[in-house]
């Protein structure tokens, strides 16, 4: 028999499978990881196919050297998925297969953690064994410790005697005791407190939603968009669906935007389903990830909660996929191989006969329009659990605030509301979409703005806690530098600091409310492993009255004591140069507002803005998704934006501005040449242009792009294929990336 192996080497020369003989003594299945000879070395690979013969004469074939795992790492349906993704993204199968395994497993970085156990081998005659130890007290003690027949670890035995290892080994050598090893599974969130609980009595809306979806779940079909307002109790709906799927003997995958931000979700599932819940996300250690992956693969876990890449979890017998907060950008992977977890989920659900639920209080324009076209069945929950009122939203016009002489970034109204909130010992959350202290630093005399010399962005001032002088930091590459004493351009001493970020808001709150404890959550405070978890826990336990943060705090958090939510500068995200700016702003405000008043006390939201009349701010403050959708969908249609059109671009990056520019021009010409010679394709292209990318440089690389806008149409594939082929021109000097509807066009 012959195995066709996709070797784990990403290079266009080796994109095709190589054939190897399967030695007689070897059991080989599709999806198995193997080690094979390639040219003058050995490489790992995955068996993609097995046949009885092939074109290459058998005496030319080399045999597989060894099998790497006791079971196929890639299940047949995952192999099919990898093929489909490779085709869609025009990348080698070896690359999409990498998605199916934890990186550490491939590179062998994470070894399994083995624990040794010792147990007695001489039960009937322990006294004789003890006697035989002569003068060694240590060995005698160890035998006594093991006398009860229970296996014990070295750590346990060192409670009887100091440094037992040498003595233990001698006892093993002489046959008095035996040593066995067992793989110890490293489990994330071990220290999480569990309080097993049962489902509450469901609300009428929850029951109605389930009545629609459960029949499909039982039949292994259906794709739903669950639109439920913040606090409508969507999680209980997922839990009920999972419970049913488990009784059917099937498994479930639950995706959350970023698991570090939603330890609560993990806790809910753990409380309900216990250790059958596995967790997969990027902040796990290599060992933890490999172990969780194996638990899933071997069927020891039946519920998987994870971030984007958990959509590739090696689940067999899949019955349900839930994508929580489906509107989140984090479901799009911008790195090769590029994929949209929602699309992958759709494909998996179809192939494996599972039910799919996309869920959000603020569905993406794309998904909601697909629901309107019947691609998803829309299920709505328009009320909060137990008819708790939606929070009351008040807009504050910051222009008037300034006119009234208030130069603080906290409006008079927000200040008053915070005062009342603190007096009642309730909690508040303040949201600002920028971290750092001052968002840019410029010269008052000549207007020069301090920029990163590696990236085309302005630098942000970060203030150390100890009050010493701050540092300017680049949010793209992380480089820091001292703020200048004089303007580097004109030498003037008048340097000004503009804008504000989370640090400045925190300082302002401390100034206004000296007795109130604050806690800040942004990229700066969450670098350490589990930092999110600790910050959120501290806030939950009431160690601070205010949580100040970036969009990190807008995600699905459920804190009963939060009654005030302040949005410091609601329109910040409106200014980004992106057709999705409105959608993002609406989502952020609505989600943030949704954090208020989730328990008995009513919530209030203060939205500070310089554009109170902007339709998306108005709709967000009314928490009226439909109004927003109608308006935005219309704008997309008339402005020819997605989902009516597609953006495709070639992003070109090079350390040499000249090379980047030249490559961009060449690619532009070639793309145009294709269009000129394919009029049917050209017809669907609305625009094509080549220029500098909006951010001209990142990490010292100059950026150019060729940007196409075309009608969304199945027959547009040839243009897209051409573009993605052009991206294969990458080389050391100049990288070219093909992006289809990228999550940002920066
Ligand atoms: P959403 O994700 O829709 O914003 P959650 O799932 O976080 O809402 O639920 C909001 C709150 O309501 C949570 O504290 C949850 O425990 C509670 N809850 C949900 N369903 C019920 C129910 N049927 N009875 C009582 N409390 C519920
Ligand atoms: Zn100057
Ligand atoms: Zn930089």
Question: Which has the higher per-residue pLDDT, 448 or 436?
Answer: 448
Q: Does residue 38 register a pLDDT over 70?
A: yes
Please indicate, yes or no, if residue 653 is contained in any of the structural domains. yes
Q: Does residue 323 register a pLDDT over 90?
A: yes
Please indicate, yes or no, if residue 190 is contained in any of the structural domains. no
Atom 9, ligand 1: residue with shortest CA distance: 233
Edge-to-edge order in the sheet of strand 113-120: 152-153, 113-120, 177-184
In the structure, what pLDDT confidence band is assigned to residue 572 with cuts at 50, 70 and 90?
Answer: confident
Residues 217 and 282 in one domain: yes
Atom 14, ligand 1: residue with shortest CA distance: 558
Edge-to-edge order in the sheet of strand 701-711: 685-698, 701-711, 645-654, 734-740
CB 391 within 8 A of CB 358: no
Please indicate, yes or no, if residue 198 is contained in any of the structural domains. no
Q: Give the number of the ligand closest to the Cα of residue 489.
A: 2
Per the listing, tokens 């008339």 go with 638
Q: Of 107, 140, 172, which closes a domain?
A: 107
DSSP state of 458: B
Ligand 1 and 463: CB distance under 6 A: no
Distance 451 CA to ligand 2 centre (A): 13
Which residues, other chains included, contact 629 with Cβ-Cβ below 8 Å and sequence gap of 6+?
365, 368
Q: Does residue 186 register a pLDDT over 60?
A: no
pLDDT of res. 587: 92
Residues 250 and 366 in one domain: yes
Please give the number of the atom of ligand 1 that sits closest to the Cα of 203.
23
CATH code for the domain in which residue 32 is found = 3.40.1440.60
Distance 375 CA to ligand 1 centre (A): 28
pLDDT of res. 209: 98
Atom 19, ligand 1: residue with shortest CA distance: 233
Residues 519 and 612 in one domain: yes
Distance 698 CA to ligand 3 centre (A): 6
Kindly give the pairing relationship between strand 2-7 and strand 18-21.
antiparallel
Distance 430 CA to ligand 3 centre (A): 28
Q: Give the number of the ligand closest to the Cα of residue 496.
A: 2
Ligand 1 and 590: CB distance under 6 A: no
Pocket of ligand 1, candidates 201, 225, 233: which has the most ligand atoms within 8 Å of its Cβ, to mutate? 233
pLDDT, average across residues 457-486: 81
Q: Give the number of the ligand closest to the Cα of residue 453.
A: 3
Q: Give the number of the ligand closest to the Cα of residue 450.
A: 2
Residues 418 and 564 in one domain: yes
What pTM did the predictor assign? 0.83
pLDDT of res. 310: 95
Ligand 1 and 362: CB distance under 6 A: no
In whole angstroms, give the CA distance from residue 281 to residue 260. Answer: 8
Ligand 1 and 600: CB distance under 6 A: no
In whole angstroms, give the CA distance from residue 268 to residue 192. Answer: 11
Q: Does residue 566 register a pLDDT over 80?
A: yes
Ligand 1 and 631: CB distance under 6 A: no
Distance 203 CA to ligand 1 centre (A): 10
CA dihedral defined by 29, 32, 37, 39, rounded to 10 degrees?
110
Ligand 1 and 621: CB distance under 6 A: no
Please indicate, yes or no, if residue 443 is contained in any of the structural domains. no
Q: Does residue 147 register a pLDDT over 60?
A: yes
Q: Of 70, 87, 107, which closes a domain?
A: 107
Please indicate, yes or no, if residue 217 is contained in any of the structural domains. yes
Q: Give the number of the ligand closest to the Cα of residue 481.
A: 3
The neighbour count for residue 313, using CB atoms within 10 Å, is: 24
Summarize pLDDT for 519-544 with one digit per residue, the tens.
Answer: 999 888 888 877 888 898 899 999 99
Residues 127 and 159 in one domain: yes
pLDDT of res. 344: 97
Q: What is the 3-state secondary structure (H, E, C) of 481-516?
A: ECCCCCCCCCCCCCEEEECCCHHHHHHHHHHHCCCC
Atom 2, ligand 1: residue with shortest CA distance: 234
Least confident of 114-118, 253-257, 394-398, 583-587: 114-118
Residues 426 and 542 in one domain: yes
Question: Which has the higher per-residue pLDDT, 449 or 395?
Answer: 395
Residues 655 and 560 in one domain: no
pLDDT of res. 660: 95
Least confident of 9-13, 117-121, 185-189, 379-383: 185-189
How many domains, in total, are found in the chain? 5
CATH code for the domain in which residue 351 is found = 3.40.50.300
Ligand 1 and 391: CB distance under 6 A: no
pLDDT, average across residues 346-361: 97
Residues 243 and 344 in one domain: yes
pLDDT of res. 110: 56
Distance 398 CA to ligand 2 centre (A): 29
Please give the number of the atom of ligand 1 that sits closest to the Cα of 201.
23
pLDDT, average across residues 124-142: 83
pLDDT of res. 467: 64
Strands (E), 361-399: 377-381, 392-397
pLDDT, average across residues 282-305: 89
Q: Does residue 626 register a pLDDT over 90?
A: yes
Ligand 1 and 648: CB distance under 6 A: no
Please give the number of the atom of ligand 1 that sits closest to the Cα of 560.
14
Q: What is the CA radius of gyration of the chain?
A: 30
Ligand 1 and 233: CB distance under 6 A: yes
pLDDT, average across residues 393-404: 89
pLDDT of res. 713: 78
Ligand 1 and 306: CB distance under 6 A: no
pLDDT, average across residues 687-714: 89
pLDDT, average across residues 428-450: 81
CATH code for the domain in which residue 177 is found = 1.10.10
pLDDT of res. 331: 93
Ligand 1 and 599: CB distance under 6 A: no
What is the overall mean pLDDT for the chain? 88
Q: Does residue 361 register a pLDDT over 80?
A: yes
Per the listing, tokens 């995958």 go with 253
Please indicate, yes or no, if residue 490 is contained in any of the structural domains. no
Least confident of 227-236, 361-370, 546-555: 546-555
Distance 363 CA to ligand 3 centre (A): 33
In the structure, what pLDDT confidence band is assigned to residue 653 with cuts at 50, 70 and 90?
Answer: very high
Please indicate, yes or no, if residue 465 is contained in any of the structural domains. no
Summarize pLDDT for 17-29 with one digit per residue, the tens.
Answer: 899 999 988 989 9
Summarize pLDDT for 54-113 with one digit per residue, the tens.
Answer: 887 878 889 999 999 888 999 999 999 999 998 887 788 999 999 999 988 887 665 655
In whole angstroms, give the CA distance from residue 321 to residue 245. Answer: 10
Ligand 1 and 583: CB distance under 6 A: no
Distance 439 CA to ligand 3 centre (A): 14
Ligand 1 and 597: CB distance under 6 A: no
Distance 697 CA to ligand 3 centre (A): 9
- In sequence order, the β-bridge partners of residue 498 are 440
pLDDT of res. 454: 85
Please give the number of the atom of ligand 1 that sits closest to the Cα of 268.
16
Ligand 1 and 582: CB distance under 6 A: no
Q: Of 65, 82, 107, which closes a domain?
A: 107
Pocket of ligand 1, candidates 207, 385, 387, 592: which has the most ligand atoms within 8 Å of its Cβ, to mutate? 385
Ligand 1 and 206: CB distance under 6 A: yes
Atom 16, ligand 1: residue with shortest CA distance: 233
Q: Does residue 442 register a pLDDT over 90?
A: no
Residues 158 and 214 in one domain: no
Please give the number of the atom of ligand 1 that sits closest to the Cα of 228.
3
H or E element that contains 391: none
Q: Does residue 440 register a pLDDT over 70?
A: yes
Alpha carbon 412 to chain centroid distance? 37
CATH code for the domain in which residue 649 is found = 3.30.70.600
Residues 289 and 376 in one domain: yes
Most confident of 151-155, 313-317, 721-725: 313-317
Please indicate, yes or no, if residue 472 is contained in any of the structural domains. no
Residues 397 and 546 in one domain: yes
Q: Does residue 201 register a pLDDT over 80?
A: yes
Residues 123 and 55 in one domain: no
Atom 17, ligand 1: residue with shortest CA distance: 233
Question: Which has the higher per-residue pLDDT, 742 or 174?
Answer: 174
Q: What is the per-residue DSSP string for 153-194? A: EHHHHTTTSSS-HHHHHHHHHTTSEEEEEEEEPP-TTTT---
pLDDT above 90 covers what percent of the chain?
Answer: 46
Distance 119 CA to ligand 3 centre (A): 58
pLDDT of res. 484: 87
Domain limits for position 82: 2-107
Please give the number of the atom of ligand 1 that sits closest to the Cα of 234.
3
Least confident of 137-141, 294-298, 688-692: 137-141
Pocket of ligand 1, candidates 198, 236, 383: which has the most ligand atoms within 8 Å of its Cβ, to mutate? 236
In the structure, what pLDDT confidence band is assigned to residue 727 with cuts at 50, 70 and 90?
Answer: confident
Q: Give the number of the ligand closest to the Cα of residue 444.
A: 2
Atom 5, ligand 1: residue with shortest CA distance: 233
Q: Give the number of the ligand closest to the Cα of residue 458.
A: 3
Q: Does residue 744 register a pLDDT over 80?
A: no
Pocket of ligand 1, candidates 198, 227, 235: which has the most ligand atoms within 8 Å of its Cβ, to mutate? 235
Ligand 1 and 231: CB distance under 6 A: yes
């Amino acid at each position: 028999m012959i195995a066709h192996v996709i070797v784990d080497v990403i290079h266009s020369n080796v994109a095709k499978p190589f054939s190897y003989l399967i030695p007689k003594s070897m059991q080989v299945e599709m999806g198995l990881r193997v080690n094979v000879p390639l040219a003058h070395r050995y490489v790992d690979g995955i068996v993609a196919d097995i046949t009885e013969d092939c074109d290459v004469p058998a005496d030319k074939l080399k045999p597989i050297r060894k099998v790497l795992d006791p079971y196929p790492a890639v299940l047949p349906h995952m192999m099919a998925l990898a093929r489909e993704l490779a085709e869609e993204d025009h990348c080698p199968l070896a690359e999409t297969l990498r998605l199916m395994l934890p990186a550490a497993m491939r590179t062998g970085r994470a070894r399994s953690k083995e624990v040794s156990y010792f147990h007695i081998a001489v039960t009937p005659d322990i006294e004789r064994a003890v006697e035989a130890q002569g003068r060694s007290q240590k060995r005698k003690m160890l035998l006594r410790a093991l006398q009860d027949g229970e296996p014990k670890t070295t750590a346990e035995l060192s409670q009887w005697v100091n440094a037992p290892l040498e003595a233990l080994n001698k006892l093993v050598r002489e046959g008095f005791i035996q040593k066995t090893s067992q793989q110890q599974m490293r489990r994330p969130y071990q220290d999480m407190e569990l309080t097993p609980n049962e489902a509450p009595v469901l609300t009428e809306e929850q029951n109605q939603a389930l009545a629609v979806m459960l029949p499909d779940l039982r039949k292994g079909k259906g794709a739903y968009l669950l639109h439920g307002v913040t606090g409508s109790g969507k999680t209980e709906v997922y839990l009920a669906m999972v419970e049913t799927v488990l009784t059917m003997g099937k498994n479930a995958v639950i995706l959350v935007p970023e698991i570090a931000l939603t330890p609560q979700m993990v806790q809910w599932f753990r409380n309900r389903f216990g250790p059958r819940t596995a967790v997969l996300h990027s902040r796990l250690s290599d060992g933890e990830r490999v172990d969780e992956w194996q638990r899933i693969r071997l069927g020891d876990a039946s519920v998987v909660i994870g971030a984007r890449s958990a959509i590739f979890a090696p689940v067999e017998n899949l019955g349900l996929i839930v994508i929580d907060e489906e509107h989140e950008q984090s479901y799009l992977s911008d790195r090769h191989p590029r994929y949209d977890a929602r699309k992958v989920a759709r494909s998996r659900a179809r192939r494996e006969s599972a039910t799919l639920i996309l869920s959000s209080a603020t569905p993406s324009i794309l998904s909601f329009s697909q629901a309107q076209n019947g691609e998803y069945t829309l299920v709505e929950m328009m009320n909060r659990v137990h008819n708790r009122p939606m929070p009351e939203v008040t807009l504050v016009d910051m222009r008037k605030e300034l006119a009234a002489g208030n130069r603080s970034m906290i409006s008079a109204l927000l200040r008053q509301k915070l005062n009342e909130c603190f007096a009642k010992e309730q909690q508040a959350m303040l949201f600002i979409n920028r971290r750092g202290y001052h968002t840019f630093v410029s010269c008052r005399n000549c207007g020069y703005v301090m920029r990163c010399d590696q990236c085309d962005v302005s630098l942000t001032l970060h203030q150390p806690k100890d009050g010493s002088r701050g540092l300017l930091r680049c949010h793209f590459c992380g480089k820091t530098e001292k703020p200048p004493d004089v303007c580097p351009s004109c030498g003037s001493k008048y340097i000004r600091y503009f804008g504000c970020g989370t640090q400045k808001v925190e300082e302002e709150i401390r100034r206004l409310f000296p007795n109130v404890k604050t806690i800040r959550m942004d990229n700066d405070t969450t670098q350490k492993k589990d930092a999110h978890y600790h910050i959120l826990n501290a806030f939950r336990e009431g160690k601070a009255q205010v949580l100040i943060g970036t969009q990190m705090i807008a995600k699905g958090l459920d804190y009963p004591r939060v009654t005030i939510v302040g949005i410091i500068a609601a329109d910040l995200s409106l200014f980004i140069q992106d057709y999705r700016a409105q959608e993002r702003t609406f989502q952020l405000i609505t989600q943030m507002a949704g954090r208020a008043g989730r328990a008995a006390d009513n919530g209030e939201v203060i939205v500070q803005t310089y554009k109170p009349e902007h339709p998306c701010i108005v709709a967000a403050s009314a928490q009226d998704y439909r109004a927003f959708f109608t308006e935005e969908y219309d704008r997309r249609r008339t402005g020819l934006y997605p989902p009516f059109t597609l953006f495709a671009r070639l992003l070109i990056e090079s350390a040499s501005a000249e090379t980047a520019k030249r490559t961009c021009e060449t690619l532009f010409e070639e793309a145009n040449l294709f269009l000129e010679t394919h009029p049917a394709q050209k017809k669907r292209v609305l625009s094509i242009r080549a220029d500098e990318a909006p951010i001209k440089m990142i990490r010292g690389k100059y950026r150019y792009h060729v940007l196409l806008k075309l009608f969304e149409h199945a027959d547009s594939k040839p243009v897209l294929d051409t573009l993605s082929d052009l991206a294969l021109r990458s080389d050391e000097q100049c990288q070219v990336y093909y992006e289809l509807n990228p999550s940002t066009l920066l």
